[in-house]
Structure 1
Amino acid sequence: MEKNYLQLNQITAYTKSFHLSNLVWDLVVNWDSFAKYTIGQQFVDAVDSISANIAEGFGRYHKKDKVKFYYYSFGSVKECLDWNEKAKVRKLIDDDTYSKIFATLEILPKEIHQLIKFTNERLKI
């Protein structure tokens, strides 16, 4: 009997954050150099960190290691909320783009917490 193991691309928190990071990248790459190197670089680093930490946690063996990286991801979501707000206030993104990013950032903490709960309940080590 073959076991089906969970794959990284089956984790919705990962796929949503991965797509969000590419959306933010596509926006920031078109900003002027001042905006790009002040807010843009920080925003891209933070949003990339969400999916990267989920991926790193997924690749860890021990439950505590996995959960630690999932919590780092959660922190990056909160940081992105700040960068998204700054980008809107400083007129680097329009209201529709702001809302689209915000909607995803609002969903991700719940999904990351579900991933943490799943990890804590299902893994023995």
Structure 2
Amino acid sequence: MKNQNFTDLEVYKECRQLRIEIAVLTKNDFPLDEKYKLTDQIIRSSRSITANIAEGYGRYYFKENIRFCRTSRASLLETLEHLITAFDENYISKNQLIELKSKIDTCGRLINGYINFLKKQQKPKDED
């Protein structure tokens, strides 16, 4: 069955849950003096994950969609780096980091799978 919207994609749904969890985490566990520093960076990078999936979905060519998915994957890893920093600064626990890294790994596998799917759908002239 063909997806009618990016919100139907499993990769989007999983990344959205990660984004929501990070938003809650930053509201509750980060100090106020990080509001315009680390908190802002981690929120922006986590939002970029889903935003790039959505923007890529709206592109006409598979190659363009793949490019946005790669940007999404880069934002996912940026988010992980921010979480590692939060752990290093004692804003989150080791267990929180492990749990979030597991979710990030799942999102990464889904993004890679979606990229591979898109590559297979390309016409030869639209190859990456």
Match of residue 14, structure 1, among 2, 12, 15: 12
Query: What's 1:66 paired with?
Result: 65
Query: What's 1:109 paired with?
Result: 108
8 Å contact kept, 1:29–1:36 = no
Q: 1:60: how far off?
A: 0.9
Q: How many residues align?
A: 122
In the alignment, structure 1 residue 5 sits paired with structure 2 residue 6: no
8 Å contact kept, 2:62–2:121 = no
Which 4+ stretches in 1 moved above 6 angstroms? none
Amino acid across the alignment from 1:102: K
Q: 1:9: how far off?
A: 2.9
**RMSD of aligned residue pairs (Cα, Å):** 1.5
| Unaligned runs of at least 5 residues, structure 2 | none
Hey, what's the Cα distance between the residues in 2 that align with 1:32 and 1:105?
A: 23
Amino acid across the alignment from 1:54: I
Q: 1:11: how far off?
A: 2.1
| Unaligned runs of at least 5 residues, structure 1 | none
Q: 1:10: how far off?
A: 3.2
Query: What's 2:21 paired with?
Result: 23
Amino acid across the alignment from 2:6: L
Which whole-Å deviations, capped at 9, do the CAs of 1:54-96 have from their partners, x for residues lacking one?
A: 1111111111110110000011111111101011111111222
Hey, what's the Cα distance between the residues in 2 that align with 1:68 and 1:83?
A: 23
Q: 1:28: how far off?
A: 1.1
TM-score (norm 2): 0.86
8 Å contact kept, 2:46–2:75 = yes
Query: What's 1:87 paired with?
Result: 86
